[in-house]
């Protein structure tokens, strides 16, 4: 299906290119091409300079080539995109793909996938009303190769940024834009919820060879120090949800001894404070002292209450 999708979008490709794309051997690609031919796909191959693999001119994909489970997976992905789209293009595509379905894959009345579908995806958030217009503007700017400009808010303050947009990314339960930042002269990723006054400029840009961002936890959240804290038993559900069941050990008195590596002191402090009197930070010692001073400052604010 992946090879067929590429052949439908590109005029001609080579077997070595496909092998690199799908991280398989050239022999595997050749076998897959033979399988597609046996399935009735009119594929044309040519050798020599300028040769390659392509579909016969005028060929369109037959929906019957996709099994019910494959179609359901495609529809589930499209439904996820539809949940954050400000247009009906994904909904229209879902209707086109499922219009001839005999097993009721799509219900127009509810907008949900039916049949034996068990995967429902919603990529929206609490900020959907403000998020959707941003995504549509960025999507259009990427397609037209136009720069975007916005005010960006971070722990270091606020700055006006202008970037060349390349990828919209959904990660860590949030949406981001990855692009070339003119202010930093480097690739940067920006969280859409921290952007305001977003606009598409009239300035065009030439597409660069854009690297994909390294989204590994080790790169984004490098461990800098080990934290230990003691939590009341009723906090167990939060520790499991946010850090996993292996992040703590239950003590004889029912308390939970939590241990985890953190990359940011401020995040640890603010996180501990959300538990109020139900948590006690044990280590690092200097951060424990800082937390004590913060708590004292908070108490002073409410002394007259």
Q: What pLDDT, on the 0 to 100 scale, is given for residue 158?
A: 95
Going by the DSSP 8-state scheme, the letter that residue 207 receives in this structure is: P
Q: Which two tokens stand for residue 35?
A: 């399988």
Rounded-to-integer distance, Cα 172 and Cα 262, Å? 16
Are 303 and 246 a contacting pair, CB within 8 Å?
A: no
How many other β-carbons are positioned within 10 Å of the β-carbon of residue 176? 20
Interatomic CA distance for residues 227 and 284, integer angstroms: 6
What's the CA gap between 98 and 229, in Å, rounded?
53
Q: Which two tokens stand for residue 61?
A: 């994909």
Phi, psi (rounded to 5 degrees) for 228: -130, 140
Q: Which neighbouring-strand residues pair with 152?
A: 159, 195
**Res 105: pLDDT:** 43
Residue written as token pair 């959707």: 132
Q: What is the pLDDT of residue 288?
A: 94
Kindly provide the b/e burial profile for residues 113-149, where b requires at least 16 CB atoms within 10 angstroms of the residue's own CB: bebebeeeeebebeeeeebbebbebbbebbeeebbbb
**pLDDT at site 86:** 64
Comparing CA positions, the residue from 211, 156, 219, 215 lying closest to residue 183 is 156
In the prediction, which pLDDT does 156 show? 87
3-state DSSP percent of the chain in helix, strand and coil, to 5 = 40, 25, 30
Please report, in tens digits, the pLDDT of each residue of the chain (305 residues total): 778 878 877 888 999 999 988 888 888 899 999 988 888 888 998 888 888 999 888 776 554 556 666 666 677 677 777 766 766 666 666 666 655 444 444 433 334 444 445 666 777 666 667 888 898 899 899 999 999 999 999 988 999 999 999 999 888 778 899 999 999 999 999 999 999 999 999 999 999 999 988 888 788 778 889 999 999 999 999 999 999 999 999 999 999 999 999 988 888 999 999 999 999 999 999 999 999 999 999 899 998 76
Tell me which H or E stretch contains 55. strand 52-55
């Amino acid at each position: 299906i992946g090879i067929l999708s590429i052949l439908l979008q590109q005029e001609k490709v080579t077997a070595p290119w496909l092998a690199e794309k799908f991280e398989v051997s050239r022999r595997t690609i050749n076998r897959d091409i033979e399988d597609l031919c046996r399935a009735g796909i009119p594929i044309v191959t040519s050798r020599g300079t300028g040769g390659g693999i392509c579909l016969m001119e005028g060929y369109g994909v037959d929906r019957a080539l996709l099994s019910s489970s494959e179609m359901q997976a495609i529809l589930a992905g499209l439904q996820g995109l539809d949940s954050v789209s400000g247009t009906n293009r994904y909904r229209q595509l879902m209707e086109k793909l499922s219009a001839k379905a005999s097993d009721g894959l799509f219900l127009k009345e509810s907008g949900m996938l039916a049949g034996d579908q068990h995967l429902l995806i919603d990529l929206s958030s609490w900020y959907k009303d403000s998020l959707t217009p941003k995504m549509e503007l960025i999507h259009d700017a990427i397609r037209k190769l136009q720069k975007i400009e916005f005010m960006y808010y971070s722990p270091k303050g606020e700055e006006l940024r202008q970037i060349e947009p390349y990828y919209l990314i959904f990660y860590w339960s949030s949406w981001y834009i990855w692009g070339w930042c003119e202010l930093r002269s480097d690739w940067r990723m920006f969280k859409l919820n921290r952007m305001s006054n977003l606009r598409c400029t009239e300035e065009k840009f030439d597409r660069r060879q854009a690297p994909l961002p390294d989204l590994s936890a080790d790169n984004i959240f490098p461990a800098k120090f080990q934290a230990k804290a003691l939590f009341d038993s009723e906090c167990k559900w939060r520790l499991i949800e946010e850090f996993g069941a292996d992040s703590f050990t239950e003590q004889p008195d029912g308390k939970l001894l939590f241990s985890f590596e953190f990359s940011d002191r401020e995040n640890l402090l603010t996180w501990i404070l959300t538990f109020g009197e139900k948590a006690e930070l044990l280590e690092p010692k200097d951060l424990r002292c800082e937390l004590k001073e913060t708590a004292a400052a908070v108490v002073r604010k409410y002394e007259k209450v």
